[in-house]
Structure formats: structure tokens, C-alpha cells
């Protein structure tokens, strides 16, 4: 894909150089790493790295500005991000991915593109109580209020990177329902499965896959006992159907810390843990991440020098 770097000079936009090739990678000063193409619904890694200090790195992806951290790296400084696309909302196609940062007192914009490829997810038929497919009118206000609360929690954007890879499994049980399943409740199609279900009898302790801060807890109509944890750079974990919640909003959580116990609250067919990973507003498939690292993910991406 073609990459262009623009340098802002006052209000004018000056094109510094046009098509960049990886030929000059060996004498790289500042480079970006991102996928050329990736599957819809799957998480990918991005990075910005440089020998020279830079500030305020962000990446724009699917309408959101993602704030990145700056850490010591092999090349001097590095910023990592985890991004993806929600299979319900994002169709296959070519999407812009723009890096921005300030270096040597100037603002840089690096325009990239990612091809999102179609991936077939399966269909799953479930039987639940009718009120969980078509909620009674009396519950609509409650459901709307809860949607606003959880929507705000998923918009959390903090700079400090608290997530590491691989994440720890929240419970030891096997996956019982995968991300991306087209869900049909009592014969009625109702969107896609936005998380991964783990086998977990009621009362199974749930531990945090990533370190982070609790941004929301509650007992909700569809998701039952719920906890949302922000791990920085738009990485937000959600845990649903819990029987017990041991944390509260504002609590600082270590990776592996127990945050509560699994249950069968909300719209469920039985006790389990629904774990959902949201990356800057996009629910992605968390399952492959439990088996990989940021290094392995980045090795599957391409790197481009943007400032030799
Ligand atoms: Zn689920």
C-alpha cells in the first residue's frame, strides 16, 4: 500500500516525500508498523518507533483517535497499539490508518491504509426466555440507560499502556462459544456474538487478563453482573453474567487479580463467563491473543520508514 507523509507547516500542508519503500529500513530513524491486510473481527498490532524522541503519538482508525504511550525501545523510543474491527459494524474494504506525532518541534501525519478482508463466522441458535429477545416495554428505559453507560465506558481513552501480551486467561475453562457467531435467539437473528464465552460454573473466580483501572460495574438487563476495565490506548475488557463483583469503579487492578465470580445473570442459557475485548470502540476476537505476544503480532505486520 502507498504511504504518504505530510508535514504541517503553519496552515499549509507540505508533502515531504511520497512513496516510501522499505529499502531504507536499515538506516531507519522513525518508522511505523501496521498490517497491509487483516481479517475483519481480528485484533492487530501497530507501532511507531524512533531513534529520536517524539511526543503525543496518536493513531486514527475507524473514526477514533487512539492515544499511544511512549516507552524505551530497541530503537530508542516505541509506541504500541492494539486495534481491530467489529464484525457487526465494519465491512471488508480498504480503511485509512493515520499516525500523528510531534518530532523536532514539528507535527507529522503518516497516512497508511489497511485492507480488511472478509472472514466467515458461524451461526449459532440459542433458546432463551422470550423477554430476553423482545424485552417488555417497562424495561426499555433501563436498557437504554445501560447502553449509554456501557457505551461511555467503551469510549475510555487513556495514554498509559497497562496491557501486555499475551493476556492471562480470565478463567481456566474451555471456550464454549466463539466471537463472531451470528446469534439467532429463539429463531430471531440478533446480531453477532461480540465476545468469547468460557466454560465457568457459577462462582468460578475471574481474574483480569490485563492490568488496568475499573471504569464501570453494574447489574444490567442483558449482560447481568458486569465489569469494565480500561488498560490504556483504547484497550477495554468487559466481563458479563457475573454472580459476584469484587471491584468498584476507580479500582486499580493488577494482571491476574480476581475481580469477581462467574454466574448466569442477564441473557444467558446457563452459567459461563462472557469476556469481550474492545479496542477503541471495536469488539474483536480475543481468543487468538491468549496464544500470542505483541512481538509475534508485530512480526506479522509490515514496517515502513517514514523519516530516514
Ligand atoms: Zn457471550
In this prediction, residue 185 carries a pLDDT of 77
- Cα(300) to ligand 1 centroid in Å equals 28
Phi-psi region of 62 (alpha: psi -120 to 50; beta: other; left: phi over 0): left
Beta bridge partners of 235: 279
Q: How confident is the model at residue 11 (pLDDT cuts 50, 70, 90)?
A: very low
Q: Cα separation of 186 and 222, whole Å?
A: 15
Distance separating the N- and C-terminal Cα atoms of the chain: 19
- Cα(295) to ligand 1 centroid in Å equals 28
- Cα(35) to ligand 1 centroid in Å equals 28
Alpha-helical runs (H) found in 115-193: 140-154
- Cα(293) to ligand 1 centroid in Å equals 24
CB 299 within 8 A of CB 35: no
Q: Cα separation of 97 and 206, whole Å?
A: 34
Q: Cα separation of 203 and 275, whole Å?
A: 16
Scanning the structure block, which residue is given the C-alpha cell 496491557? 163
Beta bridge partners of 273: 198
Q: pLDDT (tens digit, 9 = 90+) per residue, 140-190? A: 999 999 999 999 999 999 999 999 999 999 999 999 989 998 878 788 777
- In this predicted structure, which of 111-120, 182-191, 238-247, 289-298 has the lowest mean pLDDT? 182-191
| Cell numbers placing 237 | 475488557
Residue 265 CB partners (closer than 8 Å, separation 6+): 219, 224, 225, 241, 242, 243
Q: Cα separation of 22 and 17, whole Å?
A: 14
- Cα(195) to ligand 1 centroid in Å equals 5
Residue 214's alpha-carbon distances to 61, 160, 167, 285, 289, in angstroms, are 24, 14, 17, 21, 21
| Cell numbers placing 258 | 480476581
Q: Cα separation of 40 and 93, whole Å?
A: 9
Angle, CA 113 vertex, CA 111 and CA 115 arms, to 5°: 175
Q: How confident is the model at residue 10 (pLDDT cuts 50, 70, 90)?
A: very low
- Cα(49) to ligand 1 centroid in Å equals 36
- Cα(125) to ligand 1 centroid in Å equals 13
* Mean pLDDT calculated for residue range 105-117: 94
Beta bridge partners of 212: 253
- In this predicted structure, which of 52-61, 82-91, 94-103, 115-124 has the lowest mean pLDDT? 115-124
| Cell numbers placing 295 | 512481538
Residue 29's alpha-carbon distances to 105, 129, 304, in angstroms, are 16, 59, 11
The candidate with the shortest Cα–Cα distance to 279, out of 249, 242, 234, 247, is: 234
- Cα(268) to ligand 1 centroid in Å equals 8
- Cα(16) to ligand 1 centroid in Å equals 48
HSE-CB of 64 using CA atoms within 13 angstroms: 22
If DSSP codes are grouped into helix, strand and coil, which group holds residue 106?
A: strand
Rg (CA), the chain: 21
- Cα(235) to ligand 1 centroid in Å equals 18
- Cα(172) to ligand 1 centroid in Å equals 16
More confident residue, 167 or 21: 167
In this prediction, residue 132 carries a pLDDT of 76
- Cα(192) to ligand 1 centroid in Å equals 10
- Cα(272) to ligand 1 centroid in Å equals 8
In this prediction, residue 112 carries a pLDDT of 93
The candidate with the shortest Cα–Cα distance to 16, out of 97, 104, 84, is: 104
- Cα(43) to ligand 1 centroid in Å equals 18
pLDDT greater than 60 at residue 19: no
| Cell numbers placing 234 | 483504547
* Residue positions counted in the chain: 308
- Asked if the bond preceding 166 is cis, omega within 30° of 0, the reply is yes
- Cα(208) to ligand 1 centroid in Å equals 17
Q: Cα separation of 160 and 21, whole Å?
A: 31
Q: pLDDT (tens digit, 9 = 90+) per residue, 229-281? A: 999 999 999 999 999 999 999 999 999 999 999 999 998 889 999 999 999 99
- Cα(274) to ligand 1 centroid in Å equals 4
Residues with CB under 5 A from ligand 1 (ion): 195, 197, 274
* Mean pLDDT calculated for residue range 287-303: 92
- Cα(6) to ligand 1 centroid in Å equals 43
- Cα(75) to ligand 1 centroid in Å equals 41
| Cell numbers placing 159 | 495514554
Return mean pLDDT, the chain.
89
Scanning the structure block, which residue is given the C-alpha cell 498509559? 160
- Cα(304) to ligand 1 centroid in Å equals 38
Amino acid at each position: 500500500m502507498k504511504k504518504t507523509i505530510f508535514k504541517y507547516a503553519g496552515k499549509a500542508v507540505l508533502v515531504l516525500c511520497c512513496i516510501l519503500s522499505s529499502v531504507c529500513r536499515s538506516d531507519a530513524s522513525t518508522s511505523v508498523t501496521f498490517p497491509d491486510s487483516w481479517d475483519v473481527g481480528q485484533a492487530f498490532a501497530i507501532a511507531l518507533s524512533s531513534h529520536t524522541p517524539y511526543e503525543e503519538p496518536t493513531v486514527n482508525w475507524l473514526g477514533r483517535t487512539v492515544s499511544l504511550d511512549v516507552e524505551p525501545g530497541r530503537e530508542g523510543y516505541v509506541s504500541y497499539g492494539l486495534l481491530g474491527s467489529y464484525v457487526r459494524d465494519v465491512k471488508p474494504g480498504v480503511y485509512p490508518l493515520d499516525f500523528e506525532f510531534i518530532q523536532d518541534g514539528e507535527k507529522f501525519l503518516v497516512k497508511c491504509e489497511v485492507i480488511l478482508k472478509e472472514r466467515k463466522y458461524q451461526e449459532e441458535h440459542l433458546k432463551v426466555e422470550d423477554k430476553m429477545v423482545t424485552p417488555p416495554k417497562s424495561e426499555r428505559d433501563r436498557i437504554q440507560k445501560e447502553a449509554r453507560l456501557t457505551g461511555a465506558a467503551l469510549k475510555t481513552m487513556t495514554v498509559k499502556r497497562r496491557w501486555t501480551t499475551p493476556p492471562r486467561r480470565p478463567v481456566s475453562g474451555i471456550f464454549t462459544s466463539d466471537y463472531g457467531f451470528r446469534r439467532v435467539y429463539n429463531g430471531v437473528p440478533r446480531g453477532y456474538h461480540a465476545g468469547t464465552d468460557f466454560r465457568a460454573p457459577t462462582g468460578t473466580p475471574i481474574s483480569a487478563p490485563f492490568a488496568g483501572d475499573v471504569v464501570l460495574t453494574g447489574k444490567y438487563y442483558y449482560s447481568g453482573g458486569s465489569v469494565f476495565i480500561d488498560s490504556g490506548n483504547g484497550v477495554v475488557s468487559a466481563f458479563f453474567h457475573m454472580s459476584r463483583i469484587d471491584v468498584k469503579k476507580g479500582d486499580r487492578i493488577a494482571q491476574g487479580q480476581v475481580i469477581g465470580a462467574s454466574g448466569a445473570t442477564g441473557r444467558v442459557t446457563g452459567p459461563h463467563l462472557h469476556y469481550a475485548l474492545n479496542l477503541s470502540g471495536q469488539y474483536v476476537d480475543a481468543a487468538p491473543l491468549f496464544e500470542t505476544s505483541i512481538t509475534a503480532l508485530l512480526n506479522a505486520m509490515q514496517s515502513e520508514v517514514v523519516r530516514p
